[in-house]
Amino acid sequence: MAAGQDPLITFYRFLPGLKPRRGTPCAAGTLPARAFQYCEAARLGSALGYYVFLPMSFQAEWDGGSSGLWSFDEGATWYPLSTAAFPDSRAAFDAIAPEEVRGYCPPFITLGEVPGTLQVWTGLFARTAPGYSLLVRGPANVGRHPHYEVLEGVVEADWWFGPLFANLRLLTPNLPIRFDSMMPFLQVLPLNRAEYAEEKQNRFTLQEAAEMPPELWQAYERSMIDPLVRNPERGHYAKVVRRRRAEESRATACPVAHGAKPAAE
């Protein structure tokens, strides 16, 4: 973060584990090399926001109904899967919490009322800057887990303050599902509420392709035909985007050098 800038999100860590970190263009090392090199859209989508990790690895097994088991010692011991606290977290919470909130440590995992849903706490609390919400989703482009999926949500974390958790949908009953604390569990992104206000979301139209104006056909020609036929070039879009980004960065850093008039003295 640049000096003098206020953070868009502040994480407060209560449970142990890896610290949150910026998303990476390589999707935590899982993006295919060809996509990483040539697909700027995938690179940018992978890097938006912050990776959040679990405080420890564990396993959960759902029976397909309203109960199950979980283990935090690689399956040596299994406990009922209902509502469970992180080991020793309640005493640690009460040791730092004001008197009026002692006894209210968030649970680590909670089996939902809807069969197959599981809520998992990351061990973090989060506060966003005024006017910003927090988009919570699974890690972008890392690949869908075969046995569970993260349900996306948007939390207005500038006024609501609580545990940063995820709601999961378990997909495979009667199978121990392992959750790895060394891999990104969530990817969260501060989101300006003005960008998803109802009036803004409704600003869209649909037209037939035959109604496209000439400038869009010309844009199609530049985007699709020139790089493929007239000037064949692998990764053309990525190179153009990176060049435009560099030019915009230079213009922001030194506006006078790019034709802007200096401010009057």
- For residues 245 and 255, what is the distance between their CA atoms, to the nearest angstrom? 15
State the pLDDT at residue 162: 95
In order, the DSSP letters of 103-139 are: T-PPPSEEE-SSTTEEEEEEEEEEEEPTTEEEEEESP
- Across 127-145, average pLDDT: 94
- For residues 242 and 137, what is the distance between their CA atoms, to the nearest angstrom? 26
Cβ-based neighbour number of residue 218 at 10 Å: 10
Q: Which residues pair with 190 in a beta bridge?
A: 134
User: Would you say residue 76 lies in a domain?
Assistant: yes
Count of the separate structural domains present in the chain: 2
93, 171: one domain: yes
- For residues 78 and 71, what is the distance between their CA atoms, to the nearest angstrom? 5
191, 213: one domain: no
- Across 38-49, average pLDDT: 88
144, 188: one domain: yes
Nearest CA-CA partner of 141 in 235, 23, 19, 57: 23
Q: How confident is the model at residue 252 (pLDDT cuts 50, 70, 90)?
A: low
- Across 32-49, average pLDDT: 88
Q: How confident is the model at residue 258 (pLDDT cuts 50, 70, 90)?
A: very low
- Is the model's pLDDT at 136 over the cut of 80? yes
Mean pLDDT of all residues in the chain? 89
- Across 33-62, average pLDDT: 91
Q: For 146-190, how does the pLDDT look when each residue is reduced to its tens digit (9 = 90+)?
A: 999 999 999 999 999 999 999 999 999 999 999 999 999 999 999
- Is the model's pLDDT at 70 over the cut of 90? yes
Instruction: Specify the DSSP element, H or E, that contains 164.
Output: strand 163-170
- Is the model's pLDDT at 57 over the cut of 90? yes
* Sign, Cα dihedral of 46, 52, 54, 60: negative
Instruction: Specify the DSSP element, H or E, that contains 36.
Output: helix 33-38
Q: For 78-124, how does the pLDDT look when each residue is reduced to its tens digit (9 = 90+)?
A: 999 889 999 999 999 999 999 999 999 999 999 998 999 999 999 99
Main-chain dihedrals φ then ψ at residue 228, nearest 5 degrees: -95, -35
- Across 33-47, average pLDDT: 87
Q: How confident is the model at residue 66 (pLDDT cuts 50, 70, 90)?
A: confident
Which domain covers residue 111, as residue numbers?
9-200
235, 164: one domain: no
124, 41: one domain: yes
85, 216: one domain: no
pLDDT > 70: percent of the chain: 89
The pTM assigned to this predicted structure is 0.84
Nearest CA-CA partner of 179 in 99, 81, 65: 81
Nearest CA-CA partner of 92 in 57, 52, 123: 123
143, 191: one domain: yes
- Across 26-40, average pLDDT: 87
- For residues 141 and 147, what is the distance between their CA atoms, to the nearest angstrom? 17
Measured torsion, CA atoms of residues 121, 122, 127, 133, in degrees rounded to the nearest 10: -80
Q: Which residues contact 13 (CB under 8 A, 6 or more apart)?
A: 19, 123, 124
The token duo for 55 is 């405080």
